[in-house]
Chain A
Amino acid sequence: MPHTMAEKIIARQVGRLVQAGDKIDRLPISKVFFNDVIGPPAIKTLERLFGETFAKHGKPLRVFDPRRVFMIPDHSLPAFSVAVAEGVDLMEQFSREQGLRCYREGDGIEHVVLIEDGHIVPWDIVLGTDSHTCTNGAMGALAFGVGTTDGAYTMATGHLYDFVVPETYQFELIGAFPKGVYAKDLILHIIGTLGAGGCSRQVAEFTGDAIRRLSMDARTTICNMAVEMSARTGIMPTDETLLGYLKGRAQWPVAPLVSDPDARFANRITIDLSTLEPTVSFPHKPANATPISGVAEMMAASQARSTPDFPAVTSDRITDAFLGACTNGRYEDLVEAAAVLRGRTVHPDVSFVVIPASRRVYERAMDEGILQVFVKAGANIESSNCGPCFGSHMGVLSRNAQMISSSNRNYQGRMGSRDARIFLGSPATVAASAIEGRLADPRKYL
């Protein structure tokens, strides 16, 4: 019987054939990771719920397998408060006791560093205490976010409980991007087409000829935003590009994985990349997407029919720009933005924050002179972390702000004031808008 990638992964973990809709009482997990938002309460929850059980058996509390558990302080670092600093202390101390890997502050964002370090491979089931764990689906893993309690359960036993095998929505990507159009434009277009709940509870599988031509950085951008249409996760098939990326990097055995062509898909849609243009999402949700040529029309619509999550936008001016986040803070993202910005300067009314998504990205961009382009243009470069996407530091927005961001969420209040307006776009669109001080089409700079 033919199966989807998701069905095959789960079948291998539980040792029997499964299909969408089956309930799995105990699902064994390959890797689980925690950030500084949920890591500290999860460690305390683990001790509170299971400390006595270990003690009863005369054993010290131990995570199920220290090689498969990771602590990654990345949201609020360097610590912006005593509470954050003490949370990181707890993660570090717990990691030492348990013999598991705790990343250093500034090593980078969880959805970037584990991939870079070869910890995520096809066939894995990966849990992270962050909804953008779906990013890891670009590696052919079934990867999704969980909360504190599920995370603590998994640390204790290595399992997730009462899991329902999800259906799969297949996106066949054909054609090639026109100049100035990138993976971010594609995923914003898809989310705009399907809506915030358009892929609810289904795995978004991205396949087709076009995928083969996309780099790993582009693939992670696409999978990263699957959750913005409420997908269970995003996932991509194994090909030469992925195998090449994993060669010499993978810390775990690698085997290829694809869906069977005749597997049962809940939905299928074909998208021709050559038909796309630079795309931006209007406040306050990623699904409010429009081609850049439709900005004026979208502004008019927002004024005529404003709702709580589609407020009136009365100007296309930009006061703040952010290049970074688990969506678009990787090496190629910086290269694409720098290509727009090189030899130009950031508009005097714009505060432009650039955050390489990991220390490796930072170092490479520094060595190759890419960071210089941003510095000379008048941008502020910060250490690798989630930055303003988490709304707490490194560029919190005022009530008057209009932000163009390469991140994944433009919810009301996401980056500061509830009155700020956040637009999402590709790194090139962010750079072009930072130059002009208004929403701008990057193609004229390429």
Chain B
Amino acid sequence: MLTGTVTTVFGDDINTDDIIPAKYLQQSDDPEFFATYAFALYDMAFRERCLATPASIVIAGKNFGCGSSREQAVYALQYNRVACVIAESFPDIFYRNSLANGLPLIVLPDRAGIAQGDALDIDLAAGTIVNRTRNTRHPFTMKDADRTTFQAGGMTARVRAHLEEILARQ
């Protein structure tokens, strides 16, 4: 069960340059570094709202995370204690990067009825979002394999097992 508060509601087509501007990308290899500059040019109060909240949930429209393949965008969210992103849709590269780091992405075609400040309980296994602030319930679907990967925090264990197979054959 994921529990958190909606600290931001974005519109459509939020890109990864919005999430973490390019000028910070080559300043550090430490994933936590990027949290400081999350939405630095787009929404300067984003980090403040996240810091004031134990677990943040980001709500967005279509195509959240489009554009550049920079995985630092995922770190910038995770290290601001963003527990999950709920959006109408996500493009491929950002979706894969989030899978790789265990940042759950939930596709919700209709996000009406969820607003900033709402407290949500999210059950990935059951596929339900309970809005405790408004006493509403939003079902969603997620592929089993993706849920497993989100919950495992990535695919590294599987890739290691594959590498073991390869090395054992050599």
A residues contacting B by CB (< 8 A) are 23, 26, 36-38, 40-41, 44, 49-50, 53-54, 57, 59, 64, 75-76, 81, 83-84, 87, 129-131, 133, 144-150, 153, 156-157, 159, 161-162, 166, 196-197, 200-201, 227-228, 230, 232, 285, 287, 307-309, 390-392, 409, 411-414, 418
Contacts and interface: CB of A to CB of B under 8 A. Distances in A.
B59 to A, nearest CB: 15
A398 to B, nearest CB: 14
A201 B71 CA distance: 18
A162 B99 contact: yes
A26 B156 CA distance: 13
B89 A153 contact: no
B162 interface: yes
B22 interface: yes
A159 B168 contact: no
B135 interface: no
B21 A197 contact: no
A57 B167 contact: yes
B39 to A, nearest CB: 10
Nearest to A418: B41
Nearest to B91: A230
Interface string B3-31: 00000000111010110011101111100
B115 interface: no
Interface stretch (B50-58, B62-70, B77-85, B116-124): B62-70
B69 to A, nearest CB: 4
Interface residues of B, number: 50
Contacts of B25: 37
A157 B162 contact: yes
A288 B111 CA distance: 25
Contacts of B15: 285, 411
Contacts of A133: 69
Given A130-B68, A149-B101, A201-B92, 11 more contacts: A50-B159, A81-B26, A131-B67, A150-B97, A153-B156, A156-B163, A159-B162, A197-B63, A287-B13, A308-B11, A392-B22
A189 B7 CA distance: 36
Contacts, number: 153
A53 B168 CA distance: 11
A50 B161 CA distance: 10
A97 to B, nearest CB: 18
A146 B29 contact: no
Nearest to A390: B22
Given A146-B96, A162-B99, A412 B158 contact: no
B114 interface: no
A156 B99 contact: no
A253 B15 CA distance: 38
Nearest to A54: B167
Contacts of B158: 161
Nearest to B63: A197
B164 A53 contact: yes
Given A147-B69, A232-B92, A414-B17, A153 B155 contact: yes
A150 B91 contact: no
Nearest to B101: A149
Contacts of A38: 69-71
B163 A285 contact: no
B70 A197 contact: no
